[in-house]
Amino acid sequence: MESIGIIVAFWALAVTTVGAALGVLVSRNLLHAIFFLITSFLGMAGLFITLSADFIAAAQVLIYAGAISVLLVFAMMLTPLASRDNANSLYLAPGALAGLGLAAIVGFVAVDTPWAELAGSTLAERSFPDTVRTIGAQLIGRYVLAFELASVLLLFALIGAVVLVHDRAAERGAAAAAEEAGTGPREEAT
Protein backbone atom coordinates (compact mmCIF):
# COMPACT_ATOMS: atom_id res chain seq x y z
CA MET A 1 0.00 0.00 0.00
CA GLU A 2 1.24 3.48 -0.85
CA SER A 3 1.82 6.14 1.77
CA ILE A 4 -1.44 7.94 2.48
CA GLY A 5 0.34 11.32 2.62
CA ILE A 6 1.68 11.00 -0.92
CA ILE A 7 -1.71 9.90 -2.23
CA VAL A 8 -3.46 12.84 -0.56
CA ALA A 9 -0.77 15.27 -1.79
CA PHE A 10 -1.01 13.89 -5.33
CA TRP A 11 -4.78 14.29 -5.52
CA ALA A 12 -4.74 17.71 -3.85
CA LEU A 13 -2.08 18.93 -6.29
CA ALA A 14 -3.96 17.37 -9.21
CA VAL A 15 -7.18 19.16 -8.27
CA THR A 16 -5.28 22.44 -7.75
CA THR A 17 -3.48 22.12 -11.09
CA VAL A 18 -6.60 21.28 -13.09
CA GLY A 19 -8.61 23.97 -11.28
CA ALA A 20 -5.96 26.59 -12.02
CA ALA A 21 -5.84 25.49 -15.67
CA LEU A 22 -9.62 25.91 -15.88
CA GLY A 23 -9.19 29.31 -14.19
CA VAL A 24 -6.88 30.34 -17.04
CA LEU A 25 -9.58 29.34 -19.50
CA VAL A 26 -12.52 31.12 -17.86
CA SER A 27 -10.77 34.20 -16.44
CA ARG A 28 -11.72 37.43 -18.19
CA ASN A 29 -8.82 39.43 -16.71
CA LEU A 30 -5.44 38.71 -18.31
CA LEU A 31 -3.50 39.30 -15.09
CA HIS A 32 -5.70 36.83 -13.22
CA ALA A 33 -5.20 34.32 -16.04
CA ILE A 34 -1.42 34.68 -15.65
CA PHE A 35 -1.67 34.08 -11.89
CA PHE A 36 -3.78 30.98 -12.51
CA LEU A 37 -1.16 29.80 -15.01
CA ILE A 38 1.61 30.27 -12.43
CA THR A 39 -0.45 28.25 -9.94
CA SER A 40 -0.87 25.52 -12.53
CA PHE A 41 2.91 25.49 -13.18
CA LEU A 42 3.64 25.18 -9.46
CA GLY A 43 1.04 22.44 -9.11
CA MET A 44 2.75 20.51 -11.91
CA ALA A 45 6.07 20.87 -10.08
CA GLY A 46 4.43 19.44 -6.97
CA LEU A 47 3.05 16.53 -8.99
CA PHE A 48 6.55 15.81 -10.29
CA ILE A 49 7.84 15.78 -6.71
CA THR A 50 5.20 13.25 -5.67
CA LEU A 51 6.32 11.10 -8.61
CA SER A 52 10.00 11.31 -7.48
CA ALA A 53 11.05 13.33 -10.53
CA ASP A 54 12.92 15.98 -8.57
CA PHE A 55 14.99 17.36 -11.46
CA ILE A 56 11.93 17.91 -13.64
CA ALA A 57 10.18 19.58 -10.68
CA ALA A 58 13.10 21.98 -10.18
CA ALA A 59 13.21 22.72 -13.92
CA GLN A 60 9.45 23.33 -13.89
CA VAL A 61 9.78 25.88 -11.10
CA LEU A 62 12.81 27.66 -12.56
CA ILE A 63 11.81 27.70 -16.22
CA TYR A 64 8.02 27.84 -16.26
CA ALA A 65 6.93 29.28 -12.91
CA GLY A 66 9.93 31.63 -12.94
CA ALA A 67 11.13 32.72 -16.37
CA ILE A 68 8.07 32.11 -18.55
CA SER A 69 5.74 33.71 -16.00
CA VAL A 70 7.94 36.82 -15.75
CA LEU A 71 8.00 37.00 -19.55
CA LEU A 72 4.20 36.83 -19.64
CA VAL A 73 3.87 39.56 -17.01
CA PHE A 74 6.24 41.83 -18.97
CA ALA A 75 4.36 41.12 -22.21
CA MET A 76 1.09 41.95 -20.47
CA MET A 77 2.55 45.18 -19.10
CA LEU A 78 3.65 46.23 -22.59
CA THR A 79 0.28 45.59 -24.23
CA PRO A 80 -2.23 48.42 -24.46
CA LEU A 81 -4.86 48.47 -21.74
CA ALA A 82 -7.66 47.87 -24.26
CA SER A 83 -6.08 44.58 -25.41
CA ARG A 84 -5.85 43.01 -21.96
CA ASP A 85 -9.19 41.25 -21.87
CA ASN A 86 -9.33 37.49 -22.21
CA ALA A 87 -12.36 37.51 -24.46
CA ASN A 88 -14.00 34.53 -26.11
CA SER A 89 -12.91 33.90 -29.64
CA LEU A 90 -14.07 32.09 -32.73
CA TYR A 91 -11.89 29.09 -31.84
CA LEU A 92 -13.44 28.34 -28.43
CA ALA A 93 -15.66 25.45 -29.56
CA PRO A 94 -13.06 23.77 -31.84
CA GLY A 95 -10.41 24.19 -29.13
CA ALA A 96 -12.68 22.64 -26.49
CA LEU A 97 -13.45 19.70 -28.80
CA ALA A 98 -9.76 19.20 -29.57
CA GLY A 99 -8.91 19.35 -25.86
CA LEU A 100 -11.61 16.80 -24.96
CA GLY A 101 -10.42 14.52 -27.78
CA LEU A 102 -6.82 14.74 -26.58
CA ALA A 103 -7.92 14.09 -22.99
CA ALA A 104 -9.86 11.00 -24.15
CA ILE A 105 -6.82 9.67 -26.03
CA VAL A 106 -4.50 10.24 -23.04
CA GLY A 107 -7.03 8.62 -20.71
CA PHE A 108 -7.42 5.61 -22.97
CA VAL A 109 -3.63 5.15 -23.25
CA ALA A 110 -3.19 5.53 -19.48
CA VAL A 111 -5.83 2.89 -18.74
CA ASP A 112 -4.82 0.50 -21.53
CA THR A 113 -1.04 0.54 -20.92
CA PRO A 114 0.39 -2.25 -18.74
CA TRP A 115 2.46 -0.20 -16.29
CA ALA A 116 5.46 -1.89 -14.68
CA GLU A 117 5.75 -1.60 -10.91
CA LEU A 118 8.92 -1.13 -8.91
CA ALA A 119 10.04 -3.90 -6.59
CA GLY A 120 8.91 -3.58 -2.99
CA SER A 121 5.50 -3.59 -1.44
CA THR A 122 5.62 -0.14 0.14
CA LEU A 123 6.94 3.20 -0.99
CA ALA A 124 9.65 3.16 1.70
CA GLU A 125 11.04 -0.13 0.32
CA ARG A 126 11.27 1.15 -3.26
CA SER A 127 14.50 2.57 -4.55
CA PHE A 128 14.19 5.77 -6.55
CA PRO A 129 17.29 7.12 -8.30
CA ASP A 130 18.61 10.56 -7.39
CA THR A 131 18.05 12.27 -10.75
CA VAL A 132 19.51 15.65 -9.84
CA ARG A 133 22.85 14.16 -8.80
CA THR A 134 23.04 11.97 -11.92
CA ILE A 135 22.14 14.76 -14.34
CA GLY A 136 24.50 17.18 -12.60
CA ALA A 137 27.37 14.69 -12.80
CA GLN A 138 26.69 14.18 -16.52
CA LEU A 139 26.55 17.93 -17.22
CA ILE A 140 29.80 18.61 -15.37
CA GLY A 141 31.50 15.41 -16.56
CA ARG A 142 30.69 13.93 -19.94
CA TYR A 143 28.73 16.85 -21.45
CA VAL A 144 30.71 19.75 -19.98
CA LEU A 145 31.84 21.06 -23.40
CA ALA A 146 28.29 21.16 -24.80
CA PHE A 147 27.02 22.70 -21.56
CA GLU A 148 29.67 25.45 -21.64
CA LEU A 149 29.17 26.14 -25.36
CA ALA A 150 25.43 26.54 -24.81
CA SER A 151 26.03 28.93 -21.92
CA VAL A 152 28.49 31.04 -23.98
CA LEU A 153 26.03 31.14 -26.89
CA LEU A 154 23.24 32.30 -24.59
CA LEU A 155 25.57 34.91 -23.06
CA PHE A 156 26.42 36.31 -26.52
CA ALA A 157 22.74 36.38 -27.47
CA LEU A 158 21.93 38.30 -24.27
CA ILE A 159 24.77 40.79 -24.84
CA GLY A 160 23.68 41.26 -28.46
CA ALA A 161 20.08 41.94 -27.43
CA VAL A 162 21.22 44.49 -24.83
CA VAL A 163 23.47 46.24 -27.37
CA LEU A 164 20.70 46.40 -29.97
CA VAL A 165 18.18 47.80 -27.52
CA HIS A 166 20.66 50.20 -25.92
CA ASP A 167 21.75 51.75 -29.25
CA ARG A 168 18.17 52.38 -30.33
CA ALA A 169 17.22 53.88 -26.98
CA ALA A 170 20.32 56.11 -26.99
CA GLU A 171 19.59 57.36 -30.52
CA ARG A 172 15.97 58.16 -29.66
CA GLY A 173 16.98 59.85 -26.41
CA ALA A 174 19.67 61.98 -28.11
CA ALA A 175 17.31 62.98 -30.93
CA ALA A 176 14.56 63.93 -28.48
CA ALA A 177 16.97 65.95 -26.34
CA ALA A 178 18.37 67.76 -29.37
CA GLU A 179 14.91 68.57 -30.66
CA GLU A 180 13.81 69.82 -27.24
CA ALA A 181 16.86 72.05 -26.95
CA GLY A 182 16.22 73.48 -30.40
CA THR A 183 19.48 72.26 -31.90
CA GLY A 184 17.99 69.35 -33.83
CA PRO A 185 16.98 69.36 -37.45
CA ARG A 186 14.05 71.63 -38.21
CA GLU A 187 11.75 71.70 -41.15
CA GLU A 188 12.10 74.83 -43.20
CA ALA A 189 8.97 76.70 -44.18
CA THR A 190 8.37 76.86 -47.91
- pLDDT of res. 101: 95
pLDDT values of the chain reduced to their tens digit, one per residue, 190 residues: 468 988 999 999 999 999 999 998 888 888 888 999 999 999 999 999 998 888 889 889 988 888 888 888 877 777 766 566 666 677 778 888 998 999 999 999 999 988 877 665 555 555 666 777 888 888 888 988 988 898 888 888 778 777 776 656 556 666 777 777 766 555 555 5
CATH node for 4-129? 1.20.120.1200
User: Which pLDDT score is estimated for 121?
Assistant: 54
Those residues whose C-beta lies under 8 Å from the C-beta of residue 119, and which sit 6 or more positions away, are 125, 126, 127
Q: Report domain extents, the chain.
A: 4-129, 143-182
pLDDT, tens digit (0-9, with 9 covering 90-100), for 87-99: 667 777 888 899 8
Can you give the pLDDT at residue 36?
Answer: 94
